Structures are given as structure tokens and as C-alpha cells.
Amino acid sequence: MSQHIQRSIDSPLRTGLNREQLWEDHDKGLIKCWEVGRQRAARFPELANQCLAGELPVLGWKGGVSRSLKKLEKFGSLKYLAQWQGLRGEDLNIDLSEERELTCSRTAMVVTFTPDRSKYFNQVAEA
């Protein structure tokens, strides 16, 4: 059974929610990550432009790339993907049961965004 988390870019930012509602609800914090991405796009237009150009810049969640590594593929968090969609000004659209692969336009690194935390949790971090 797929569990799609979707939200329109025209939706207002949510307010007055507690930690449990933001991070532990059915969306697993993806809506909050996407909302943070929307806010960061307004504050950091250059970062938003990088995302719009297909780059995967380093953000607060695993998935961004600052340079090419020897191994040209890695795993990333769905929370990164949600924030990236917000930075791009896109609707939130993530399936919690599927992996999604993106290639960074700047580094050519392939990042597979996955709901399986074990795939990215112990992977070598970028310096």
C-alpha cells in the first residue's frame, strides 16, 4: 500500500502545531521539511536557484552533495527530498513506500532518496 504525502504549493504554512504533530504524524515530518524549504527559498534565493537548476546542495538532511565522490551514487533522506521540493517552489509529492532517484546537475552524483533509514544512516558523510 502506497502512502502519498501531497500538499499544494498554494497551501498556507501551518502554525500552532506541537512537536508531535510536526514530526510524528502520518507524514513523518515531511510537510514540515517542505515548509522549511519554502521559507528558505524566500530567504536564500541563490539556494533556491541551485535547486531549480537541478543541483542537490548540502542541506540539513542527508542527500545533498558538495562534490563528486569516487562512488558516484549515494542514498538520501525523504526529508531532504521534501525540503528540496519546497526550495524549488513545487508541490510536496512523496510516496513513503518508494525510492526516488535524482542526479545532481553540478556533480553528476546520483542520489537515491529512500524511506529505508538504514541505507543512508551509516554511509560515509561528506566533509
| Whole-prediction pTM | 0.90
State the cell numbers at 50. 541551485
What is the domain partition of the chain in residue ranges?
A: 16-121
pLDDT tens-digit readout, 83-127: 999 999 999 999 999 999 999 999 999 999 999 988 887 765 544
pLDDT tens-digit readout, 26-43: 999 999 999 999 999 999
For residues 56 and 15, give the distance between their C-alpha atoms in angstroms, rounded to a whole number: 28
